[in-house]
Structure 1
Amino acid sequence: MHMKTSAILAAVAAVLASAASAQAQTPPAAPPVNHGPAIAGVCIVSLDGAISSSTVGKYVQTRLQQIAQQVQTELSAEQTAIQNEAKTLDAQKATLDQGAFDQKNATLQVRAAALQRKAQLRERELQATQQKALGRVGQELEPVIRSSYQQAKCTVLIQRDAVVLANPAMDITTSVITGLNAKITQFAFDRERLDQAAPAPAAAAPAPAQPARRP
């Protein structure tokens, strides 16, 4: 049995991966650009850049990686135990009668299937954890963006991802990062537990049949 725990770890870095992915090779420096004058009232912000560069964003990234590592350790331990028992059972095949061998093998198959389901559940939990943590950051970020927008006397605010080039004087991302760092640096959160969801309510009993009326 082969567990793809890499798929679980990949879910952790969906939005905040930009801060950790600049490892492989340093890209060549871009040639300098002579910008035109800044347009009054037009501002630009990088939301991903503000999150990944902020103190709370880096904290969330680190915490998500810790939780993902805990999940990987849990699944790897169970996987190793099942693999070791499978090897032991295979070595005992010549000395066990067929019925006993089949029963133990069936038990291992059940455990392996349960582990696969647990891995899928943990992946969904990591995704839910990431969404909830980033949602909290987004709640803290929204008023900071409005404050920076007003301080810069912006008339319109454009997401930097939608712009190819722009005068850096119109970029308020640094101001947003400073405001977010002053507001929050970390908050406690743990892995979401989807297996502890409340069971669905039982279906209501059908109403008793009404007696037929006489004509």
Structure 2
Amino acid sequence: MNKTASFAASAAILLTSAPALAQTPPALPPINHGPTLAGVCILSLDGAIGSSTVGKYVQTRLQQISQQVQTELTSEQTAIQNEARTLDGQKATLDQGTFDQRNATLQVRAAALQRKAQLRERELQATQQKALGRVGQELEPVIRASYQQAKCSVLLQRDSIVLANPAMDITTSVVTGLNAKITQFAFDRERLDQAAPAPAPAAAAPAQPPRRP
């Protein structure tokens, strides 16, 4: 769902970026908001998903899966590097043919590892999209219920608004509804290396009888 696209981007950043340096923002004077606008409601999708129980669970689970992938790739990379160092140390005692053959084997393994890393990256992206899609499916009816309960006539994305009266914000109601509906669901890394079944061979066309002159 495109409603969860921004949260998907945020989740990807959480998995790949380093912690930012902490900075203390300057103190700002309080704002005296004007009256609420009847029928106008505001929602932060990122805030609703990110602060919900299921949203936090998805983020934690994605980090676990990412760490598993990193451990797998690092283990194979270390093994290749160790064998390369060993081979380099034996270079003076090996004949050129043996050295070249073993070195070529290492190069093949290194190339295979690079392809696996690219595959795992695509799998992580697919896993994230599927998990967030599930959250989006659970979230949509909750948003509709909160919208009707608050008697909204229009719902605006809070992140696209500079300032607004918080009394029009239904994010807390949406989080409460989502928490009551779902807190977690089982999911694992998507597997994209499964060979697709071969298509069935096309049926042979019946033989045509020879045409008589």
The two structures have a TM-score, normalised by structure 2, of: 0.87
Deviations 1:137-183 (A, max 9, x none): 11111111011101101011111122111111111001101111111
The correspondence for 1:118, drawn from 112, 116, 119, is: 116
> C-alpha separation between the residues in 2 aligned to 1:145 and 1:197?
39
Q: What displacement does 1:209 show?
A: 6.7
The correspondence for 1:24, drawn from 9, 22, 25, is: 22
The correspondence for 1:133, drawn from 131, 134, 137, is: 131
In the other structure, the counterpart of 1:4 is none
Question: Which piece of structure 1 moves more, 129-138 or 27-36?
Answer: 27-36
Q: When the two structures are aligned, how many residues end up with a matched partner?
A: 203
Q: What displacement does 1:208 show?
A: 6.2
Q: What displacement does 1:32 show?
A: 2.0
> Matched residues, percent identical?
85
In the other structure, the counterpart of 2:145 is 147
Q: What displacement does 1:213 show?
A: 3.5
User: Aligned Cα RMSD in Å?
Assistant: 2.2
Asked if the contact 1:13/1:61 (under 8 Å) is kept, the reply is no
Q: What displacement does 1:202 show?
A: 4.9
The two structures have a TM-score, normalised by structure 1, of: 0.86
Q: What is the one-letter code of the residue matched to 1:121?
A: L
User: Is 1:105 matched up with 2:106?
Assistant: no
In the other structure, the counterpart of 1:38 is 36
In the other structure, the counterpart of 1:85 is 83
> C-alpha separation between the residues in 2 aligned to 1:103 and 1:193?
33
Asked if the contact 2:52/2:179 (under 8 Å) is kept, the reply is yes
Q: What is the one-letter code of the residue matched to 1:174?
A: T
> C-alpha separation between the residues in 2 aligned to 1:180 and 1:140?
7
Q: What displacement does 1:198 show?
A: 2.5
- Tell me, which stretches of 5 or more residues in structure 2 are unaligned? 1-6
Matches within 5 A, 1:163-182: 163-182=161-180
The correspondence for 2:10, drawn from 9, 15, 19, is: 15
Which SS does the other structure have where 2:202 is aligned?
coil
User: Is 1:73 matched up with 2:68?
Assistant: no
Q: What is the one-letter code of the residue matched to 1:163?
A: I
Q: What displacement does 1:35 show?
A: 1.4
> C-alpha separation between the residues in 2 aligned to 1:149 and 1:22?
35
In the other structure, the counterpart of 2:158 is 160
Which SS does the other structure have where 1:14 is aligned?
helix
Deviations 1:30-71 (A, max 9, x none): 432221111000001011110001111011000100000000
> C-alpha separation between the residues in 2 aligned to 1:101 and 1:56?
54
> C-alpha separation between the residues in 1 aligned to 2:33 and 2:54?
32
> C-alpha separation between the residues in 1 aligned to 2:44 and 2:181?
18
> C-alpha separation between the residues in 2 aligned to 1:79 and 1:25?
37
Which SS does the other structure have where 1:43 is aligned?
strand
Q: What displacement does 1:13 show?
A: 7.0
Q: What displacement does 1:196 show?
A: 1.6
> C-alpha separation between the residues in 2 aligned to 1:23 and 1:206?
68
